[in-house]
């Protein structure tokens, strides 16, 4: 299966509801690298790099998020950036 690299921006009520921790838990179950962070504009941004099926599963999970989240939009674009070797939670930008 080919590798896929995407940047995802999740909008709605996605901060203060455990969204980053939710993403980190889901990534830990897969062979995916990248990062997740809150943005000052109240969105959550993530990069997922891995097997296409695993990346697609993570993108699908972003549409729901953890229980208290209320996702209004998920924007997905191809990730073009430095190579990554692990998954990290980054500070708010």
Indicate which residue of 29, 38, 39, 86 is catalytic: 38
Tokens for 88, please give them.
Answer: 């990290």
38 is catalytic: yes
For 7, 34, 88, the CA distances from 85, given in Å and listed in that order, are 16, 8, 10
First to last CA, the chain: 33
The residue whose two tokens read 């962070």 is 37
Q: Is 40 an active-site residue?
A: no
The one catalytic residue among 4, 13, 20, 30:
20
Active site residues: 20, 38
């Amino acid at each position: 299966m080919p590798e896929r690299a995407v940047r995802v921006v999740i909008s709605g009520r996605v901060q203060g509801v455990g969204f980053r921790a939710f993403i980190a838990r889901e990534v830990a179950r897969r062979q995916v690298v990248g990062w997740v962070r809150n943005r000052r504009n109240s969105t959550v941004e993530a990069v997922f790099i891995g097997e296409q099926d695993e990346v697609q599963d993570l993108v699908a999970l972003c549409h729901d998020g953890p229980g208290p989240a209320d996702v209004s939009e998920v924007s997905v674009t191809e990730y073009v950036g430095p190579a990554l070797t692990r998954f990290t939670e980054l500070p708010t930008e």
